[in-house]
């Protein structure tokens, strides 16, 4: 979530609340992925009520927060969902995403990710984190699957 669907900035508000901003095109990209029959989710090292709220608004099925080892969390999810790692696409923006990126079948990184993360990614988006990079990745997947025209027609 942070650094992919947001620019990585966390706004601390009075009373301990936090705020984040999301690019609307990323949200529509998630909706279109769902229309194409894809499942989406979030693995986040941080816990955030805002993350949970945005994921729920978008209908994301998997929302896991507050883990130190994202790769272990992915392995547990694969077992729970009866999936193989090669069936998963993942976009990550920082070094704690590298172990997951090594496991999955398709990986991406936003344009502003660190060098080693961009180097691990199959695709580096033109867009930076929080600026439509998730939409760009999802659009590439939907186009490659031949689903793009159909889901756009239903937009």
Architecture of the structural domain at 22-153: 3-Layer(aba) Sandwich (3.40)
Residue showing tokens 């990209």: 29
pLDDT greater than 90 at residue 74 = yes
The pLDDT of residue 154? 82
Nearest CA-CA partner of 97 in 74, 80, 131:
74
For 48, residues 6+ apart whose C-beta sits below 8 A from its C-beta are 1, 2, 18, 20, 65
The pLDDT of residue 36? 97
The pLDDT of residue 133? 98
Domain ranges (residues) in the chain: 22-153
Q: What is the pLDDT of residues 49-70, one digit of tens each?
A: 999 999 999 999 999 999 999 9
Q: What is the pLDDT of residues 82-131, one digit of tens each?
A: 999 999 999 999 999 999 999 999 999 999 999 999 999 999 999 999 99
For 80, residues 6+ apart whose C-beta sits below 8 A from its C-beta are none
Task: Tell me the pLDDT of the chain averaged across its residues.
Answer: 96
Quick one: what percent of the chain has pLDDT higher than 70? Answer: 99
| Predicted confidence band of residue 15 (pLDDT cuts 50, 70, 90) | confident
For 88, residues 6+ apart whose C-beta sits below 8 A from its C-beta are 74, 78, 103, 104, 105, 106
Q: How many angstroms separate the CA atoms of 32 and 134, rounded? A: 12
The pLDDT of residue 144? 97
């Amino acid at each position: 979530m942070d650094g992919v669907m947001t620019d990585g900035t966390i706004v601390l508000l009075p009373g301990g609340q936090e705020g984040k901003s999301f690019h609307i095109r990323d949200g529509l990209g998630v909706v279109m992925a769902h229309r194409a029959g894809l499942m989406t989710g979030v693995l986040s090292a941080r816990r955030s009520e805002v993350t949970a709220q945005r994921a729920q608004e978008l209908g994301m099925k998997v929302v896991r927060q507050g883990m130190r080892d994202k790769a272990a969390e992915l392995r547990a999810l694969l077992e729970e969902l009866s999936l193989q790692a090669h069936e998963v696409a993942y976009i990550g923006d920082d070094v704690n995403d590298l172990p997951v990126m090594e496991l999955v079948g398709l990986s991406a990184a936003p344009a502003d990710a660190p060098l080693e993360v961009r180097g691990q990614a199959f695709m580096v988006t033109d867009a930076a984190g929080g600026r439509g990079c998730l939409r760009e990745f999802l659009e590439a997947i939907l186009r490659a699957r031949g689903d793009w025209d159909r889901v756009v027609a239903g937009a």
